[in-house]
Amino acid sequence: MTNKINITLSTTKKEKPASNQLEFGRVFTDHMFVMDYSSSKGWYDPRIVPYEPITLSPSSMVFHYGQTVFEGLKAYRTKDDKVLLFRPDKNFQRLNLSNDRLCIPQIDEEFLIDALKQLVSIDKDWIPTAEGTSLYIRPFIIPTEYYLGVAPSKFYRFMIILSPVGSYYKEGIHPVKIFVENQYIRAVEGGTGKAKTGGNYASSLKAQDEAEKRGYSQVLWLDGVEKKYIEEVGSMNIFFKINGEIVTPSLNGSILEGVTRNSILQILNHWGVPVSERRLSMEEVYQAYKDGLLEEAFGSGTAAVISPIGEFFYKEEKMLINNGETGELSKKLYDTLTGIQTGVYEDVFNWVVEVK
Amino acid sequence: MTNKINITLSTTKKEKPASNQLEFGRVFTDHMFVMDYSSSKGWYDPRIVPYEPITLSPSSMVFHYGQTVFEGLKAYRTKDDKVLLFRPDKNFQRLNLSNDRLCIPQIDEEFLIDALKQLVSIDKDWIPTAEGTSLYIRPFIIPTEYYLGVAPSKFYRFMIILSPVGSYYKEGIHPVKIFVENQYIRAVEGGTGKAKTGGNYASSLKAQDEAEKRGYSQVLWLDGVEKKYIEEVGSMNIFFKINGEIVTPSLNGSILEGVTRNSILQILNHWGVPVSERRLSMEEVYQAYKDGLLEEAFGSGTAAVISPIGEFFYKEEKMLINNGETGELSKKLYDTLTGIQTGVYEDVFNWVVEVK
């Protein structure tokens, strides 16, 4: 693969939305990064081009067999107008893990970081400035072979698109209510749970929809084998503070290896907070709640960073956590992570990467 | 929804491939059926138009979250030049089951049968005539909203495309070798196993790939909970003949409800052959093999109709079935099903639907 990225700049500039009108994932910048793959050429023709539609035959594999992977990360503008990426190496590392599970060819991770930096640099005026806003980055791969056989595609397209996004918490960080799912399963060991692939999200929609109808904003996923052990919450990893200790489910093959999850574990270790990665049943959490030892619970992910949980609905019972308010540790982790991401806090972990 | 289908005929006709050069799913006919959905209009603008590419924004949900469903069936040309469909009602019924699981709006099944008939009638010259050939029909639905939020799409496109396909068995029906999968899982109860959705096929690719590298053509899927009970083979349902009785795994929520599977059960009942739908462990099959009671095994699906199994690789052992040859019952079922489908055998079950 040649590392030379061809750049074609857009001749027109789209109007940028006002900072207070930003939604998630609806508006996209002027450019995108594109690269193709064929069995004979490998990954080829890396290019930055004006944001434009994709045209594919109806027989293109992407419309039929779900062989897709994606990533999500963000670029932040600091108070002194620097542009920072948060741990992009972890995202592209995970992209290759997803690729491996989905039979998609590996991509040079260093090259992708370089490509991303060039793209963000070109569209840097799109990074919003208001507090809590950022530029959401969506790398993704689709199979493009025109063939209805069930087999790995011989052709792929890798793309990165950028979307300015508003603050996840329009009125400040606040807790959500979670329905403990007892019917649907997100993933199981031996499946695709740890890969960031479309099918995992498609399969989650129905449970999410039914939870919303009951007045809950997300579901808590239990394991697919015994429906006892906690896996994720919505599309986030999950943490509990039980009797002073932080507990999160260990990575078991069906849980996504969240970059935010990994960062939280490092921060907690740095702070000297006791933390345990292990198998954790919902019954154990319920018992801790009954014993008055369940102090906090929160989800973690790129979009919300930290999403405090104020209530679980489990076995026809409402479990109120920390009086339905954001816990002290949840808030401190949120401030620390967003502080590092936006250059307000010192980056002691060497996580942020500046886009020059 | 209006039931009036607008028809725009192609002004040019593509060249049709020779009967002996037909592959599966590579060449498509001159027309396709298209219909759109929006929350406000429901399903609207049903139309038959020239086969042409789809153009979508890179942010279209289909490229990210796998909320797709599809079906597969065939049209056959009889010796006296009639055009027959095989149980299209069952396919559109299952499409709606898949839609339900994937949060895609339901579609009027009667209307879809009518639309399919009109489309096949327009492109009927594309149905090949040689023995074993047919016109493969691929209805599918993709989410088309331009939005990166994880939620059911508010817009969809339903399409039917047609592909003339060659005989599955170029040199006559012959048995395949199957690897009993002990690591990867296709689906689990509470997941999407019984829906015909892209993610199920994406997750199967890696196991299939590894089996092929070992010299096996498909994998046998075991259940996701105990990895003991038989589910499917490749993308087919599976049957065993054990000591004179036909056994197939019962529909448990993670197994696809195959139209061919259903047809086989009806035929066997009609013949008075003892048949049992129940939970069946691989250990039980292995024990039957050891006891000399495993007489036949075969997969069933739209593409192959019947795919005899000549060997299983299980626990480092090769289990040779019926001396690696096609069993008598497998062959009889194949002849009966294809006979009904192509109008050679009497359609005592009222399964075929003529396209006038």
Task: Note whether A24 contacts B149, CB cutoff 8 Å.
Answer: yes
**What residues contact A251, with CB distance under 8 A and at least 6 apart?**
A194, A257, A277
Euclidean distance between CA atoms B152 and B103, whole angstroms: 6
- On chain A, the residues whose CB falls within 8 A of the CB of B53 are 55-58
At residue B167, the pLDDT reads 81
CB contact under 8 A, A199 and B202: yes
Express each pLDDT in B252-294 by its tens digit. 999 999 999 999 999 999 999 999 999 999 999 999 999 999 9
Helical (H) or strand (E) element with B242: strand B237-242
Question: Does A192 reach chain B within 8 Å, measured CB to CB?
Answer: yes
pLDDT tens digits, residue range B135-153?
Answer: 999 999 999 999 999 999 9
Q: What are the counts of helices (DSSP H) followed by strands (DSSP E) for chain A?
A: 6, 19
**Between chains, do B66 and A208 touch, taking CB under 8 Å as contact?**
no
- Please report the pLDDT score of residue A74 as a whole number: 97
Contact B201 A227 (CB under 8 A): no
Average pLDDT of the residues in B288-305 = 96
Beta bridge partner(s), residue A142 = A157
Contact predicate A164/A29, CB 8 Å = yes
Domains and CATH numbers, chain A: 6-167 (3.30.470.10), 176-341 (3.20.10.10)
pLDDT at B2 over 60: no
B53 vs chain A: nearest CA distance in angstroms?
4
For chains A and B, CB pairs below 8 A equal 217
Q: How many CB atoms are closer than 10 A to CB A103?
A: 19
3-state secondary structure of A81: coil
Window A:260-319, CB contacts with B under 8 Å: none
A197 touches chain B (CB under 8 A): yes
- Is the Cβ of A228 closer than 8 Å to some Cβ of chain B? no
Residue B203 has its nearest CB partner, among A28, A138, A191, at: A191
Give the pLDDT score at A20: 85
This complex has an ipTM of 0.97
- Tell me how far the alpha carbon of residue A48 is from its chain's centroid: 23
Q: Which residues of A touch B205 (CB under 8 A)?
A: 67, 102-103, 150-152
Based on C-alpha coordinates, what's the Rg of chain B?
21
**Does B171 score more than 80 pLDDT?**
no
Per the model's pLDDT, the better-predicted residue between B170 and B131 turns out to be B131
Contacting residues of A for B161, CB less than 8 Å apart:
58-59
Task: Please state whether beta strands A54-56 and B31-38 pair in parallel, antiparallel, or not at all (unpaired).
Answer: unpaired
Residue of A nearest to B144 (CA): A63
Q: How far does Cα B342 stand from its chain's mean position?
A: 18
Chain B residues in contact with A26 (beta carbon < 8 A): 146-148
The pLDDT value given to residue B148: 96
CA of A67 vs chain B CAs: smallest distance (Å): 5
Among A299, A66, A271, A19, residue whose Cα is nearest residue A166: A19
Best to test chain A binding among B51, B203, B232, B235 (most A CBs inside 10 Å): B203
Q: What is the mean pLDDT of chain B?
A: 96
What is the pLDDT at residue A2? 54
Three-class secondary structure of residue A63 per DSSP: helix
| Nearest residue on chain B to A199, alpha-carbon basis | B199
Test mutation, B63, B95, B302, chain A, max A CBs within 10 A: B63
pLDDT at residue number B19: 85
- Reading chain A (356 residues) residue by residue, the pLDDT tens digits are 557 999 999 999 999 999 888 989 999 999 999 999 999 999 999 999 999 999 999 999 999 999 999 999 999 999 999 999 999 999 999 999 999 999 999 999 999 999 999 999 999 999 999 888 999 999 999 999 999 999 999 999 999 999 999 987 777 788 999 999 999 999 999 999 999 999 999 999 999 999 999 999 999 999 999 999 999 999 999 999 999 999 999 999 999 999 999 999 999 999 999 999 999 999 999 999 999 999 999 999 999 999 999 999 999 999 999 999 999 999 999 999 999 999 999 999 999 999 99
Report the percentage of chain B scoring pLDDT > 70: 99
Mean pLDDT value of segment B237-247: 98
Residue B307 and residue B298: Cα distance in Å, rounded? 5
Amino acid (1-letter code) at residue B199 = G
How far does the CA of residue A182 sit from the closest CA of chain B (Å)?
Answer: 9
> Does the pLDDT of residue B63 top 70, yes or no?
yes
Phi-psi category of B183—alpha, beta or left, where left has phi over 0 and alpha has psi -120 to 50? alpha
Our CA-based measurement puts residue A346 at a distance from the nearest CA of chain B, in whole angstroms, of 31
Task: Note which residues in 309-328 of chain A have CB less than 8 A from chain B.
Answer: none
Q: With pLDDT > 90 as the criterion, what percentage of chain B qualifies?
A: 94
Residue of chain A nearest B62, judged by CA positions = A63
Q: Which residue has the higher pLDDT, A197 or B2?
A: A197
CB contact under 8 Å between B150 and A201, yes or no, is yes
Tell me: pLDDT of B172 over 80: no
Residue B203 confidence (pLDDT): 96
| Cβ neighbourhood burial of B79 (10 Å; 0-12, 13-18, 19+) | exposed
Alpha carbon separation from B285 to A112, A299, B25, B242, B246 (Å, rounded): 49, 45, 34, 8, 12
